[in-house]
Amino acid sequence: MIGLSKGQEIFDKLKVWSKMGSGVLYLLNTGISLEISGKGLALELNYDEIILVKEIKKETLLISWKENAETYDIRFNVKNASEVAQKIRYQIGKSVG
């Protein structure tokens, strides 16, 4: 289980698989966190850092973000990828609106 900062809340947690291994993708009120089984926290992004959330296939989700001048992306195998993408896009909209 990830540690939360003051004011952070988990509103969904999803079993996922990525190139880093299997784990849990936490959808927070402030961003997303990826915890890999047996390895710990692997990725943490605020919603304002995410530049793309897209369903590639029915069970494949792509998330892209920028760090300095570089763009990075990660693919997740997750059930109902389109629903997960919608949830993340909704939170991104809330964070910028």
Nearest CA to 31 out of 10, 16, 52, 14 is that of 10
pTM above 0.85, yes or no: yes
On average, the pLDDT of the chain sits at 93
Structural domain spans, the chain: 10-96
Residue 96 has pLDDT above 80, yes or no: no
Q: 27-74: per-residue pLDDT in tens? A: 999 999 999 999 999 999 999 999 999 999 999 999 999 988 999 999
CA torsion, ordered 6, 11, 16, 21, to nearest 10 deg: 10
Residue 97 has pLDDT above 70, yes or no: no
**C-alpha to C-alpha distance for 78 and 14, rounded to whole angstroms:** 7
CA torsion, ordered 79, 96, 35, 69, to nearest 10 deg: 110
Residue 95 has pLDDT above 80, yes or no: no
Residue 12 has pLDDT above 80, yes or no: yes
CATH number at 10-96: 2.30.29.30
Residue 78 has pLDDT above 90, yes or no: yes
Contact 34, 43 (CB under 8 A): yes
Nearest CA to 41 out of 65, 59, 21 is that of 21
